[in-house]
Amino acid sequence: MAVSNTLLNDSSTTSGQATTVAANGQSQLGSSDMFMTLLMAQIKNQDPLDPADPSQFVNQLVQMNQMQTSLDMLSELKSNALLLRELQGLGLGNQVGSTVLVQTDTVQLDGSPVSGRLTLSGAESQVTLQLTGADGKPHLIPLGSQPAGEVAFSIKPADYGLAAGSYTLSVTTASKATPTLELAAVVQGVRLPVQGGEPTLTLSGLGDVPASSVSRLLGNTSSSAS
């Protein structure tokens, strides 16, 4: 489509006007208003001997509206994400000092008792908790026969000769099933991400874990799982 110099001049002038605040205090033209202004100038100054297909103008308008809608939705999502982050921070901040259950396979022993629970899909004739230290040596703690459902446990590291340090945990059963393992810990602090993401909780004996790892809030109770 041929466009005359008049169009270029008009477009330049219009663009400048669209980005300048008027002396009477009117707000700047938005991107949609600017597009419509330029589109009308384009239609007005098109070559009569080589007119543009009207569908091209419609397609341009549709694309502009779609882009503006996407930008508005993105802005709204960002605002909602920031609000959700603040609400999470307030909610989790209230849990400092409370006991929670966390799905994890690591623990930092310091001589204090370790409490948690297992969730068995069926009755088991023999359940064994295994802790493996940095030296790779496994320490087996038999829990005996257990019924189906939630099984609470509490162990004292000194009773099994477990020195202070980091250990990985696993559970073995007679049926070879793998039950869910959760450990109880006290929330010592909450850290909110600076650039998005989920909050991180600092837990006694477990260190920093993502908030999504918490499976149950037990409130201000003792460190033993119920």
Indicate whether 104 and 188 sit together in one domain: yes
pLDDT of residue 111: 86
Indicate whether 101 and 83 sit together in one domain: no
**CATH code, 128:** 2.60.40.4070
Indicate whether 47 and 115 sit together in one domain: no
One-letter amino acid of 202: T
Q: Does the pTM of the predicted model rise above 0.75?
A: no
Indicate whether 113 and 172 sit together in one domain: yes
- Beta-bridged to residue 181, according to DSSP, are 118
Which stretch of DSSP H or E encloses residue 202?
strand 200-203
Residue with tokens 């980091």: 166
Two tokens at 91?
């909610």
* Domain count of the fold of the chain: 2
- Of the residues 50, 76, 92, which one is the last residue of a structural domain? 92
If phi > 0 it is left, if psi is from -120 to 50 it is alpha, else beta; for residue 96 that is beta
- 45 occurs within a structural domain: yes
Q: How far apart are the first and last CA of the chain?
A: 77
Residues in the chain: 226
- Distance separating alpha carbons of residues 131 and 89, to the nearest angstrom: 33
pLDDT in tens, 169-209: 999 999 999 899 999 999 888 877 766 667 788 888 888 88
Indicate whether 27 and 40 sit together in one domain: yes
Indicate whether 115 and 214 sit together in one domain: yes
One-letter amino acid of 37: T
pLDDT in tens, 112-129: 889 999 999 999 999 999
Residue 110 DSSP symbol: S
Indicate whether 109 and 203 sit together in one domain: yes
Q: Which domain holds residue 212?
A: 97-219
Give percent of the chain with pLDDT exceeding 70.
63
pLDDT in tens, 126-139: 999 999 998 899 99
